[in-house]
Amino acid sequence: MSIEIKTSTLEPIRHTFEHTKRRFGDKPASRYQEASYDIAPEKNFHYRPMWQPDKLLNDSSRTAIVMEDWYAYRDPRQYYYGTYVQARAKLQEVTESNYAFFDKRGFADRMSDEVKAKIIRCLVPLRHMELGANMNNVLCCAYGTSTVLTQAFLYNGMDRLGIAQYLSRIGLLLDGNSTDGLAKAKEHWMTDSAWQGLRRYTENTLVVEDWFEVFIAQDVVLDTLIYDLMYRQFDEKITEEGGSDLAMLIEFMQEWHKDNSRWVDATLKSTVAESEHNKELIGRWVADWQEKAVADMAPLAEIAVGEEAVNASVEVLNKRLAKAGL
């Protein structure tokens, strides 16, 4: 038998806002849609920015990529602020308990000094690279055109800060909060030849003007390579070498990368599919940055994993690009 609580009926006079209705039809729009489409200012900007007088305040010419409709994108995760923070809070909760468990059971003491040193040399310096990623994605957020894109960039940017913070905590867990680990890792980042290529790459991305190119250099090329290298290959390697407990500490990054990749792929795919112009341009950017990245990551890859590591990561990148139609 069924139960039916009656509530008073009021026929709505419309199901959603006009702009969402124009896009998705006259039916209740999802919260993601109402929060993401057509809400950015578009016209009649009053003053040209003092910091870039040759552009309008919001100006889609801040990239060479051309889109008929900048709202042609869709985040497959459908993140708006609420769903985004809730998704991350969930990941965070588990991560927190992993870190606590690692700490409580004294897993750091179970690791050999070599393993610890290797993690501090090869993994922890990524915290600086993540800060670069944070800046790059926030730039894309500030200069991108539609909320569908810009919000995802901001989420990505904040995620990178979060990851940098987790990496720092790994350093602290390994050195018993003495902060030596972090100091050493920074030293590696600043002077160790294994890292200089990547640091140069990162600093170079920070001066790129075209925000879509920044996206390619950072989120597509560098992240694909480095996340594969460090969070897949290095994870396996360090497990072999007796550092299997590291797995608990980097689960966040692995899960995050899986989640984030869905959005990166979708974004790339939509842009490439838009026009030959875009495809050609992105192809060129990818080629440039990939060449640099491969060379720049080689020394680290060698030390962290071994000979074949770079090629394995490049293969992953190529697969990904192919999927996006490149």
Partner 1 sequence: MSVAAITENYTGERLDRLENFHGNQVIYIGWDQHLMFCAPVALALPPDTLFSTLLEDVLPGAFSQHPDFAAVDWDAVEWHLNGDEFKPQPGKSLIEQGVDHKSSIRFSTPGLDGIKGSGS
Partner 2 sequence: MTSKKLNMKEKYSLLTRDLEWEYSYRDYEEIFKQESFEGIKITDWSKWEDPFRLTMDSYWKYQAEKEKKLYAIFDAFAQNNGQQNVTDARYVNAIKLFLTGVSPLEYQAYNGFAHTGRQFGGVGARVACQMQALDELRHVQTQIHAMSHYNKHFDGFQDFPHMHDRVWYLSVPKSFFDDARSAGPFEFMVAIGFSFEYVLTNLLFVPFMSGAAYNGDMATVTFGFSAQSDEARHMTLGLEIIKFLLEQHPDNVPIVQRWINKWLWRGYRVLTLVAMMMDYMLPNKVMSWQESFEVYFEEAATSLFKDLARYGIEMPDYAADAIAEKEHLSHQAWSIFYNYGHAAAFHTWMPTDQEMDWLSEKYPNTFDKYYRPRYEKWREMEEAGERFYNPTLPMLCQTCQIPMGFTDMENPTMTSYRQSVYDGERYNFCSNGCKDIFDYEPEKYVQAWLPVHQIYQGNCGGAEMEDVLGEYYRINLGTDNLDFHGSPDEARWNAWHNLQPAEDKLKKAS
Using CB under 8 A, which of 207, 240, 276, 322 touches partner 2?
Answer: 207
* Residue 207 vs 322, nearer CB to partner 1: 207
165 binds, among partner 2, partner 1, none (CB under 5 to 8 A by kind): partner 2
**Residue 114 binds which entry of partner 2, partner 1, none, CB below 5-8 Å type-dependent:** none
Considering the complex, what minimum distance in angstroms separates the CB of residue 311 from partner 2?
26
Cα separation, 237 vs 152, in Å, equals: 32
| Residue ranges in 138-197 that form contacts with partner 2 under rule CB under 8 A | 138-139, 141-142, 147, 150-151, 154, 157-159, 161-162, 164-166, 168-169, 172, 176-179, 182, 186, 189-190
Instruction: Report the distance separating Cα 218 and Cα 222, nearest Å.
Output: 5
Residue 312 Cβ, how far from partner 2 at the closest point, in Å? Answer: 27
1: contact with partner 1 by CB under 8 A: no
Is there a contact between 251 and 232 (Cβ–Cβ < 8 Å)? no
Whichever of 2 and 44 has its CB closer to partner 2, that residue is 44
Q: Given candidates 26, 57, 94, 287, which one binds partner 2 under the rule CB under 8 A?
A: 57
191 binding partner 1? (CB under 8 A):
no
Closest CB 3 distance from partner 2, rounded Å: 16
Instruction: Tell me 123's DSSP state.
Output: T
Q: In angstroms, rounded to a whole number, what is the distance separating the alpha carbons of residues 234 and 227?
A: 10
Interface with partner 1 in residues 21-50 (CB under 8 A): 47-48, 50
> Does 53 participate in binding partner 1 (rule CB under 8 A)?
yes
Here the tokens at position 37 are 């489409």
Alpha carbon 241 to chain centroid distance?
29
For the chain, how are helix, strand and coil distributed in percent, rounded to 5?
70, 0, 30
Q: Which does 1 bind (CB under 5 to 8 A by kind): partner 2, partner 1, none?
A: none
* Residues in 234-273 at the binding interface with partner 1, rule: CB under 8 A: none
Among 277, 274, 257, 276, residue whose Cα is nearest residue 320: 257
Tell me whether residue 31 or residue 48 sits nearer to partner 1 (CB atom). 48
Q: How many angstroms separate the Cα of 74 from the Cα of each of 79, 264, 265, 267, 316?
A: 10, 11, 11, 8, 24
> Using CA atoms, how far apart are residues 226 and 120, in angstroms rounded to an integer?
16
- Only one of the segments 62-70, 135-143, 270-278, 301-309 lies at the binding site for partner 2 (rule: CB under 8 A); that segment is 135-143
Q: Could you give the 3-state DSSP secondary structure of residue 27?
A: coil
CB of residue 55 to partner 1, shortest distance in Å:
11
Site residues, partner 1 (CB under 8 A): 47-48, 50-53
